[in-house]
Amino acid sequence: MSQSKHNHNKHKSQKDKLNSYAHYSGLVIQMMAIIGIATFIGIKLDERYPNNKDLYTLALSLTGVILSIVYVIRRIIAISKSK
């Protein structure tokens, strides 16, 4: 009986680890999407309104990085509160 319970807990622990890996992998993909979309918009704005230093790309890339970091931190805090 004890062995069966131990195996069940071990299986549940492995499932929890796999679930958290999948969740955090999803966060990484969302982070990349935010940065990618912001950078793409910056590139298109620089093509439409040319300037010497590609400032739209620079500004929107940096904004995308900041927004994605804020998003990930907020999601991690929400996850830790729910557990």
| 31, 45 Cβ separation under 8 angstroms | no
Predicted TM-score (pTM) of the model is 0.77
Query: Per-residue confidence at 7, pLDDT binned at 50, 70, 90?
Result: low
Residue 49 per-residue DSSP state: S
Average pLDDT in the chain = 87
- Return the higher-pLDDT residue of 7 and 49: 49
Q: What percent of the chain has pLDDT over 70?
A: 84
Closest among 73, 74, 45, 70 to 60, alpha carbons compared:
45
What values do phi and psi take at 13, rounded to 5?
-65, -45
- Return the higher-pLDDT residue of 83 and 57: 57
